[in-house]
Structure 1
Amino acid sequence: MKHSLNILLLSLFITLSLHAEEMLSRTRMLMGTYATVTLPAQHNRQISESFSLIAKIEHALSTFDENATLARLNDEHTVPYDPVLAEALTLSYSYYEETDGYFDVTIGSITKDLYRFGTERPQSPSKTALKHAKRNIDGFHVGKKHITSDEGIVIDLGGMGKGYAVDKTAQWLNEQNITQSIVGLSGDIRCLHTCELYLQSPFHEGMFAKVTAKILNLSISTSGTYHRYATRPEEHHLIDPKTATQGKAFVSVTLFTKADNARIDAYATAVSVMPKKKALAFLKEHKEIGYVLVEPDGNIIKGNLEPLVGCVPTHLHKH
């Protein structure tokens, strides 16, 4: 049988192929979104423990919980060493280098301080404020006893944190010898077993593609301009850290790879703000990553999909 699970309200619907085994899905609000874990029904306890693990990661990486380690770092600029935050920052630094600076977690000076994305009162900053917002990937420092950041540096791990949490949860489930599972956090999904994916249109509520996984431990990450914006739709949250302006080449980016959600979460964020030519060159260099890119006119650009998932359409109707 196939067990259908509505993982996301915005990006993906997933069906998990699990033969005749009864599955159990549970959902909680974690990391600012819907976290859903699906396991064989006898593993209800492991679902609860998965949520506990995600909550611990949230307590390290959140900027909304004032007691979270990252929130305190942004406020006080020094915190005791936290292994989760340390690893996430170290990974983020490598993603910055790999994406030629298009993934920059010090974008928080813009996303958190100026636009105030994710709060009850987002705002529209001036061009002058955006121009002078401080970004510097060398502005944080991971030591053996403390993690510190420079004055003016605000770190936002929203571009990789959910993928990181999915990776850690999937790793823990594998250690429990559980091989049939879905872990989902917003647009970041890990299918430990084979699954079918339904990609949601960035223009309306319907689905525009059904793709079937060809591998186990498939990682999926979707990033879209339609997810979150400040006071106007054009003020979406995907911002080029080099120019402090919104990405315009794509309205939706979906990436696929094997067992590496944190990386493709960061890469999806970076590709979303790159110029089109740069984005395509970047993805063509990474043969291990399949991609489905939707342009503002509904044109679909896809590549590297054959080893990972089945094909998708070449055009998407906007209405």
Structure 2
Amino acid sequence: MNTMAPPENRPETQHWEWQYLDLMRRIWERGDERIDRTGIGTRSIFGPQLRFDLGGDRVPLLTTKRVFWKAAAREMLWFLTGETNIRPLLEQGVTIWSDWPLAKYRQATGTEVSQQEFEARIVEDEGFAAIWGDLGPVYGKQWVDWPTYEPAGEGLFRQGPGINQVALLIEGLKSNPGGRRHIVEGWNVAELDRMALPPCHKTYQFHVSGERLNCLLYQRSCDVALGLPFNLFGAALLTRMVAAQAGYSPGELIWTGGDTHLYLNHAELVTEQLVRIPEGEPRLLLTRQPDSIFDYRFEDFEVVDYAPQGRLSAPVAV
């Protein structure tokens, strides 16, 4: 196993990103090597934690590689619509969810269509998108339309009104800031088998401390090289929107991982990123406050002072 010495001469004031790089190094050098669902194999640890202060518009965007925050922001807005079809994302040029329905289409039809061809047909053909672009009741569906059922007599049940956890969260933060139930949950056990991918960033809990709103995200499974940079920005953006709507200043984002891993075929990315030095402090600005969290638009977000080092890429495990 290759080992990489940590970069020397760290600045006296620790850049927050060293937490991420130290986590990456710890997994790569000391993680438990495992066979995983994808068959690629990982090195994994369990239960790490990262903490970030979101005050002063700070945002946990990695500077040691480029994070495509615009795609992450569009994805978060997509979650808040409750949508489960990838078509609205593809119409905006966001392809991060294409792998799963594409794999399903190839397996079901035996057609070796390219990803670009598949995505183009999803955008152009609404009927095709309805069949092959749907991911099942993932993330946003659970967040804003958690299904309920009510008795219909004679031992039967009918579908009841969906539960909008996000709306209830904001109302709860306003009316009962000291509450310990400010949670948005994506892990609906009854519907996991219908999801293209069960939720990884599954539980968000919010906590009011004075005038500041903190968020703790529990992520049951985390691809540190590709997924975690997106997840950190997404959680920070969600926290900022919730704080603005509930009348608080942004506080701390605490991220906790369950199975936290690096894929064995990400060696080149890991090796390169671990010799880079974090620098700069990007900021996330919310330029407009709509009446509802569900009314934000992409144009309401601006990232400034972000000058990341070169792009690092690696294959996605499906």
Q: Using CA pairs below 8 Å that are at least 6 residues apart, which structure has the higher relative contact order?
A: 2
TM-score scaled by structure 2?
Answer: 0.29
TM-score scaled by structure 1?
Answer: 0.29
Larger Rg belongs to? 2
